[in-house]
């Protein structure tokens, strides 16, 4: 469902960018003069817009990156694509260019005979730099003939402005010094054999292994500079969480999206249910994501705060935390420091509804969400036990809850309660629960000071 929603939002944004944006930079190639005259756009950004004064933006500055941070080494390799003359459509030919580290180049696939010397093959050279007008250009040149007036070799060639460069693709427009002229000549090329950077492959050798861990540890210790490939969770900070995620990738050969690890180092099983990625275990973290400790209440009299985040372990027995997770009041959910692992969150009431709807509705979803067997559940009947199939992989456990009035732990083995992040006024919040006498899932609101289990959902 999340992926579907993202797709819909992207589609809406693209539609808006194409037809409804009111700025030049967001109207590249899409705006019309009629829209300008109707006051729908500030100006028209398209190659064909000319002679209309303020109606036309500076197309090449607004609509292209024009990178200035490139070096010649960025162009070394074999580039495949096409070379085009848009003005007369006299050609639109495939082309492959092999640029070497010494500045020479060869055109290995060249049915149109472009960018090479017919008379003196092997004299082709390529340069990257800034021209007289301060524009970054890639210049291809070759020997046309030899004459004393040139001091020997007389060169000709074609100069291209680098309009876009990213993910080892580039767009080049012809530029003879007066400005870009894609209608005269343009190339659209991709680097052969390029693979995107792999998160965790810190040394970029194509393999994630112990060497990457060593580098990441050095970064954490301040002995090596920041490297975004070591930022596994993408929070712009490289710390112990990234090291643990990196270890998990190596041990499990797991993609980062499927790894769920909290600030304490607890690693949780996960499961895809429909379009949602869920934790398949109850949360047991004891610290917020910034490292601050969550208040642990062992004294019954101190349990039940509406404002302070608290947790307890059923009957104060550590083995219960290992099996059932911790019991939390709702205040931990409302705390901005966060309790779910980075890129995960406490699901809303609506997100729980997505889950139960996918499993066939509240009347039957419970059996599909409960752990199968009788190791932890005490069912009212054999039929209810048989209906507990855990076919979803959610593995719901009867962790019970902690009562706000007395601080007692109750109902372990019979009920599994799960907080949602959705409030119902200042004192109540929505929850879901599984129970021993039915295969359904119940939904209601309950007082925030009470203690229930928490599951996290991938963002």
Percent of the chain with pLDDT over 90: 55
Residue 269's closest CA among 95, 392, 146, 435?
A: 392
Q: Is the pLDDT of residue 1 over 60?
A: no
> Is residue 277 within 8 Å of residue 394, measured between CB atoms?
no
Give the least confident one: 74-88, 116-130, 351-365, 444-458. 74-88
Query: How many Å separate Cα 156 from the centre of its chain?
Result: 46
The conformation of residue 96, written as its DSSP 8-state character, comes to: E
Q: Quote the pLDDT of residue 4.
A: 44
Per DSSP, helices labelled H in 45-92 are 59-63
Residue 393's closest CA among 301, 268, 305?
A: 268
Q: 207-251, pLDDT tens digit by residue?
A: 888 988 999 999 999 898 888 888 887 777 898 878 888 887 777
Q: 171-200, pLDDT tens digit by residue?
A: 999 988 878 888 788 999 998 876 666 778
The DSSP result for 340-386, as a single string, is SPTTEEPPPHHHHHHHHHHTT-HHHHHHHHBPSSSSS---SSHHHHH
Average pLDDT over residues 318-330: 94
Q: 274-286, pLDDT tens digit by residue?
A: 999 999 999 999 9
Q: 4-37, pLDDT tens digit by residue?
A: 433 433 343 433 433 334 567 667 777 777 888 8
Q: Quote the pLDDT of residue 19.
A: 39
> Long-range contacts for 253-259 (Cβ within 8 Å, ≥24 apart)?
256/199, 256/200, 256/232, 257/458
Q: Report the CATH architecture of 72-191.
A: Beta Barrel (2.40)
Q: Quote the pLDDT of residue 14.
A: 38
Q: 401-444, pLDDT tens digit by residue?
A: 999 888 999 999 999 999 999 999 999 999 999 999 999 999 99
The CATH number of 204-259, from 3.40.50, 1.10.3470, 2.60.120, 1.10.1330, is 1.10.1330
Average pLDDT, the chain: 86
Q: Quote the pLDDT of residue 120.
A: 92
d(CA 257, CA 254): 8
Q: Which residue has the tokens 């507990």?
A: 388
| Domain spans, the chain | 2-63, 72-191, 204-259, 262-459
Q: Quote the pLDDT of residue 279.
A: 94
The conformation of residue 256, written as its DSSP 8-state character, comes to: G
> Is residue 401 within 8 Å of residue 415, measured between CB atoms?
yes
Average pLDDT over residues 111-134: 89
Query: How many Å separate Cα 173 from the centre of its chain?
Result: 31
Which residues, listed in sequence order, are joined to residue 453 by a DSSP beta bridge? 418
Phi, psi of 238 (to 5 degrees): -100, 115
Average pLDDT over residues 50-75: 82
Phi, psi of 368 (to 5 degrees): -75, -15
Three-class secondary structure of residue 34 per DSSP: helix
Q: Quote the pLDDT of residue 118.
A: 84
């Amino acid at each position: 469902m999340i992926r579907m929603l993202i797709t819909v939002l992207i589609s809406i944004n693209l539609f808006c960018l194409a037809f409804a944006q009111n700025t030049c930079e967001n109207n590249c190639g899409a705006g019309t003069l009629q829209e300008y005259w109707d006051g729908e756009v500030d100006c028209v950004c398209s190659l064909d817009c000319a002679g209309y004064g303020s109606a036309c933006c500076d197309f090449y500055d607004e609509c292209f990156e024009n990178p200035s941070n490139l070096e010649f080494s960025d162009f070394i390799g074999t580039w495949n694509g096409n070379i085009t003359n848009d003005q007369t459509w006299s050609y639109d030919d495939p082309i492959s260019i092999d640029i070497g580290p010494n500045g020479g180049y060869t055109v290995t696939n060249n049915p149109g005979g472009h960018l090479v010397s017919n008379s003196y093959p092997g004299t082709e050279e390529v340069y990257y730099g800034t021209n007289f007008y301060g524009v970054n250009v890639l210049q291809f040149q070759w020997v046309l003939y030899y004459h004393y007036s040139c001091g020997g070799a007389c060169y000709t060639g074609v100069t291209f402005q680098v309009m876009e460069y990213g993910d080892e693709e580039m767009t080049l427009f012809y530029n003879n010094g007066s400005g870009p002229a894609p209608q005269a000549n343009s190339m659209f090329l991709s680097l052969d054999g390029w693979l995107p950077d792999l998160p965790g492959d810190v040394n970029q050798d194509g393999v994630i292994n112990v060497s990457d861990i060593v580098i990441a540890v050095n970064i954490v210790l301040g002995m090596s500079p920041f490297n975004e490939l070591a930022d596994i969770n993408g929070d712009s900070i490289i710390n112990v969480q990234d090291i643990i995620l990196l270890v998990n990738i190596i041990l499990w050969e797991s993609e980062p999206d499927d790894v769920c690890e909290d600030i304490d180092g607890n690693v949780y099983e996960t499961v895809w249910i429909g379009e949602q990625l869920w934790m398949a275990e109850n949360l047991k973290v004891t610290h917020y994501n910034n490292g601050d400790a969550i208040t642990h209440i062992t004294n019954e009299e101190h349990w039940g705060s509406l404002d302070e985040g608290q947790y307890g372990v059923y009957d104060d027995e550590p083995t219960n935390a290992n099996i059932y997770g911790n019991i939390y009041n709702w205040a931990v959910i409302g705390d901005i420091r966060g309790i779910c692992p980075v890129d995960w969150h406490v699901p809303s009431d609506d997100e729980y509804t997505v889950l139960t709807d996918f499993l066939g509705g509240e009347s039957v979803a419970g059996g599909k969400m409960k752990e199968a067997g009788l190791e932890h559940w005490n069912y009212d009947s054999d039929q209810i036990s048989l209906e507990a199939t855990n076919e979803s992989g959610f593995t719901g456990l009867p962790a019970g809850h902690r009562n706000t009035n007395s601080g007692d732990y109750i109902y372990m083995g019979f009920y599994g309660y799960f907080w949602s992040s959705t409030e119902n006024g200042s004192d109540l919040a929505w929850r879901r629960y599984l129970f021993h006498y039915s295969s359904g899932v119940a939904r209601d609101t309950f007082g925030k000071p009470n203690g229930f289990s928490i599951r996290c959902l991938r963002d």
